[in-house]
Chains A and B, each alone.
Chain A
Amino acid sequence: MKRNDGSPAAPAWRVPPTAGGAGAGLYVHVPFCRTKCPYCGFYSTPESGNERRWLAALEREAALYRGVFPAFDTLYIGGGTPSLLGAGDVSRLFDTLRGVFVFSAGVEATIEANPDDVDADLLAAWRRLGVTRLSLGVQSFDDAVLRRLRRRHDASTARGAIALAREAGFANLGVDLMYGIEGQTFGSWMRTLETALDHAPEHLSCYELTIDAGTEFGARRAAGTLRGMSETAGRRFLLETSALLRSRGYIHYEVSNFARGAAHVSRHNLAYWRGVPYLGLGPSAHSFGGDERWWNVRPLDAYLGAAEEGRAPVEGRETIGEEERALESLSLGFRTADGVPLATLRRRPDWEAVLDRLVRDSLVSVEGDRAVPTIEGFCVADRIALLFAA
C-alpha cells in the first residue's frame, strides 16, 4: 500500500478513505512507567527490571498470531512508556515483529515517547529501526499545569525534545496536549497551543481531561475535591481549539485529533475508527479480527504467566455481529470527519426527521451517502450516536 504523502490537499473536512491504511494495524503495549500519573487509566506498572521477561513473553504471544492477520499497514508502540525501553530492547522488539509478521511497504510506525526520556541517541536508534512517526506526550507548555499532572518534564524539556526529534529527522511528529486541568485558564491553554504551533507539528491531539474512576483523580472526584470541566467550558475549549488550529492549516479529523493535511493523520488511529482489524500485543491490549474482539489480561504477572506457558494471554472475547457492528459504526463514525453511512441510520424508523433536525441545528451535514458531524457535532458526538442506536 502506497503512502499518501503526495496527495493533493484534501478539503479541510474530508480525509480521503485512502489516507488510512487498507491493511491491518499492529499495536504493542509497553506496560512500564517510571511513576503513575494521577489521571492515567492505562495499564502500566512502575516496577522495572521485567523488561526482558516482557519482551520474551511478547515474542511468544506474537508467534501465536503468525499468519493470522494480513500485512500490517501500521505499527504503534504505545503504553505505558515505550521510551523507557533501551535502544537494544526496542531493536529486539522490532526484530521479533519483523520476523513474525509481514508489513506493507509504506508502513507507518509510531512510537510514543515522554519528553524527559528522549535523547539524540535514542531518537537516532528509532530512526534507524524504521520508526516514521513520533508521538510526544507533552500535555502542556505551562509548568504549573505540568506539576498538577505530576509530569516529570517541564515546558523547556518538552521544547527541547521536539527540537531533538526534528534534528533526528522526524518529519512526522505528533504532540499530545490536555485541557480541563484544575488551575488551567483558557489563556494558558491558548498559549500552550501557540507554543505547540511554533514547532509546526504534523499532528496534534488535544484532549479534555477524562477523570477515570480507577485513578487518583477519580478518587479525588469521588471525595469531592476535584471537579471536571463544566460542559460549557469543555465546549468552548474544543470549539476555540478547533477554530485556531484550522486557521493554521490543520484539519480537525476526529473529536480530539488534528493533522496538518490529510497526509499526516494518524493512520493507525484512523484505522480503529474505520473498523479496520488490528492486533494488540502486551498486557491489556485489545484486538479486533473483523468479527471478533478480544482483550488481554491486565496485570503483568498474569500476562507473563500465560505467555510463558504458551497460552494466549486473553482475558475475554466477544463476537461482533451485525448489531454490534452497527452500534460501533455509530459510536465511532460520529467522532470522525468520515461520519456514518446513511444506511446505518436507517435503523431508526424516523431517521430522516431526526437527521433533518440535526442538519438544521448544524450538528451534522449530509455529504453524499454519509452523515458527517460538524465541529459543533463533535462536541456531542456520543449523543448523536445514541439518537440512532436502536
Chain B
Amino acid sequence: MAQIRNFSIIAHIDHGKSTLADRFIQRAKLVEDREFHDQMLDTMDIERERGITIKSQTVCMPYTSAAGEQYILNLIDTPGHVDFSYEVSRALASCEGVLLLVDATQGVQAQTLANMYAALEHQLAIIPVINKIDSPSADIDHTRVEIETELGLDADDAILCSAKEGTGIDDILEAITLRIPPPAGEPEAPLAALIFDAKYDPFRGAIISFRIFDGTIRAGDDIRLMSLGTSHRVEEVGVFRIDRERRPALRAGEVGYVIAGIKTVSDTRIGDTITHVDRPVAAPLPGFREVKPVVFSSIYPVSSEDFDALADSMERYKLNDASLVYQRDSSAALGQGFRCGFLGLLHLEIFQERLEREFDQSIIMTSPSVEFHFVLKSGETIVVDNPVHYPDPIAIDYALEPYIRATILMPDRYLGAVMKLCLDRRGENPRYGYPVPGRIELLFDLPLSEVVYDFYDKLKSVTQGYGSFDYELLDYRRSELVKLDILVNGERVDALAIVVHADRARMRAVNVCERLRKEIPRHLFKIAIQGAIGGKIVARSTVAPFRKDVTAKCYGGDITRKRKLLEKQAKGKKKMRTVGQVMIPQSAFVAVLKTNEEE
C-alpha cells in the first residue's frame, strides 16, 4: 500500500488536465502508439465534439520512480467547468492528493480557486503545476505571483510543465510519489468502499467505480450496499487502464470497479458504502454532500406513452450523472414527466443531449427556471423553481431572484455589443479590465433568470463566437417578478408559463406568441395564442385555419397511397401534444426558450 498514490488532476476549464493525463498514459505505455489520440480520457462523443471533459475518468498506471521503486498511480482526470464540479468533489474523496494545474497564459481562474478549496476541505496534498509554459503568451512569473497571492500556496513548490510538449512530466511523477502520501487503511479490516461513480451496462448491470478505504474485495464475495441493504455476489473486480482490467482482488487504498450483476438501477447509489455481508463494517462512510441545483426545467416524453421508457432512462442516466436531481412531476398540458435540477446551463444542455444520444429519448423540455424567493405578506418565504407554483400575487410582499457575476472574455471590439446585451438583460455594476492587450474581461452582475435562456447563444452571435462566458452565483436581490401565462385557444398551457421581470414581461409575451404562431401547425379552426399577466392579455397572435386540404381525385389506384400518407401523418401527430384540441409540436416548447430581441 505504501506504493500506491491516488490523485486527481484539477484546474479551471481548458487549463490542460486531459492533455497532461495523455502524457501520463503514454509514459506508462497503457496504449499502443497507433491507438493513441489526444484527450484519451474524453471518451464520450459529446466530450470530443466539444473539447471539454464532462465526466471524471480513472486510470491506473504503473510507475517506476527515479530511485527504482515500483508504484501504482491512480489518476482521476476531472472536468474543469463549474457545472461539473460535483464530479470533482466526488473524485477528491478517493484521493490523497491533487495536481492543481494553472494555465500560464491565463493565470488563476475561478475554478482554480474553487477546486483548490475543495481539495483543502478534503485535506489533500496539493502540487501546483504551471502548465502551457511552451505558449508564447505564457507569463510564468505572473502566474507564480498569483499562486502565492490568490491561492496562498508556495510558488517554489510549483512545477513547470508543458502538457502539450511533454516537458516537466518526470518532475510531476516524482513529486507525486514524494509529496502525496500513500493511502491509509487496513486490508484485513471489514470492507468499507465508497461508490463515487457508476455506469449502466445492459449486459452486466451497474459497473461501479469505488475507492476501498478498508478491507479487501474479491470476485465471488457477497457484498452489501449499505444504504438499501441489498446484497449481491461479486462477479468481477478490476481497475481501469483505459479499458477495464480484471483483477483477482482489490485492497484498501485502491481505486477500481466492481460488477455484481446489479440490474436494478436504483440499488446503486452514488456515495453509498460497499461492505461484506458476513463481516460488515460498523458504520457507512460519510458519502457526499448533496448537490444544490441552480437551474430547473421539466421534461416530458414527446409521446406520452413513452413515459415508462423515459423513467427507465432517467434512472440509468442518473447512475452516470450524480449531479442530476429529479423528481416526478406532472403537467396538465404534457402529462407525466420529471422536474429536473441542474448545476448550470451547460449541465442542462449536456443532459438533454446525452439523454437523446445515449438513451434514444425524445423529450420536451420546458423553459429553464431559477429558484425565486417570494416573501409573503404573512412573513413566510416560499421558494419557487417552477412557474406553476407562482404564489397568489395578492399575497406577495416582495420577491427575490438570484444574481450571478458574469465574466465575459472577448476581443475589445465587441465591448459595445456585449455591454448592450448585458444591459438589455438587466445587468448591473459593469467593470472591466484588460488581462492581455486587445482582450477585455467584462464583469457584470446579472439576474440568473436572464441568462438561463439563450443568453449564451446571443453572446456567441454578437461576438461572432469569440466571447467566452463564465459565471458564479452572487446573491439574491429584490425584484419585480410576474408570471407570464400562455393561453392557446383560451386554455392556459402550464408548461409554457414563465416567471419574468415585470419590465420585460410584455416583450417576452410578444416574442413567445410570435414564436408559437410559427411553430403550431394549422388546424381546421383558427387558433388564438395569448400572453397574459395576471389575467390581462398583453400579447396575441393567430394561426390561420386550413382553407382547403383535400386531394381532388381518389380512385381505385389512389387508396393505398392515401392510406399510407394518413398513416404517416398520424405518426407525426404522435409527436405532438394536444391541449384542448390544439396539437402543439415539441418544437414549440423549445421555441419558447429562444427570444429574438430584434423582432
Contacts and interface: CB of A to CB of B under 8 A. Distances in A.
Interface string A223-237: 000000001101100
Nearest to A272: B556
A353 B573 CA distance: 18
A381 B550 contact: yes
A278 interface: yes
B441 to A, nearest CB: 51
Nearest to B554: A335
A210 B546 CA distance: 18
Nearest to A287: B556
A308 interface: no
A103 B523 CA distance: 46
A206 to B, nearest CB: 9
A381 B562 CA distance: 12
A358 B581 CA distance: 11
A331 B566 contact: yes
B570 A331 contact: no
Contacts of B547: 231-232, 234-235, 379-380
Contact of A389 (B551, B552, B560, B570): B570
B553 interface: yes
Contact of A385 (B553, B555, B566): B566
Contacts of A293: 559-560
Interface stretch (A126-134, A162-170, A183-191, A322-330): A322-330
B567 to A, nearest CB: 6
Interface in B19-46: none
Contacts of B554: 255, 272-273, 331-332, 335
A382 B551 contact: yes
Contact of B550 (A27, A209, A255, A273): A255
Interface in A217-250: 231-232, 234-235, 238
A297 interface: no
B559 A332 contact: yes
Interface residues of A, number: 52
A318 interface: yes
Nearest to B559: A328
Contacts, number: 112
A380 B550 contact: yes
B553 A389 contact: no
Nearest to A373: B550
A390 B563 CA distance: 12
A378 interface: yes
A208 B555 contact: no
Interface string A275-314: 0001010001111100001010000000000000000000
A231 B547 CA distance: 5
A262 interface: no
B548 A386 contact: no
Contacts of A208: 552
A386 B566 contact: yes
A357 interface: yes
B567 A207 contact: no
A30 to B, nearest CB: 14
Interface string A326-342: 01101110010000000
B567 A389 contact: yes
22 contacts: A209-B552, A210-B552, A231-B549, A232-B548, A272-B554, A278-B556, A284-B557, A285-B556, A286-B556, A286-B560, A293-B560, A327-B563, A332-B554, A363-B524, A379-B547, A382-B549, A383-B523, A383-B549, A383-B550, A386-B573, A389-B573, A390-B570
10 smallest CB-CB distances across A and B, nearest first, come from A231-B547, A389-B570, A207-B552, A234-B548, A381-B550, A286-B557, A235-B548, A231-B548, A208-B552, A235-B547
Given A255-B554, A328-B562, A380-B548, 20 more contacts: A210-B552, A231-B547, A256-B552, A272-B554, A285-B557, A288-B559, A293-B560, A327-B563, A327-B570, A331-B563, A331-B566, A332-B562, A354-B581, A378-B550, A379-B548, A380-B547, A380-B550, A382-B549, A386-B566, A389-B573
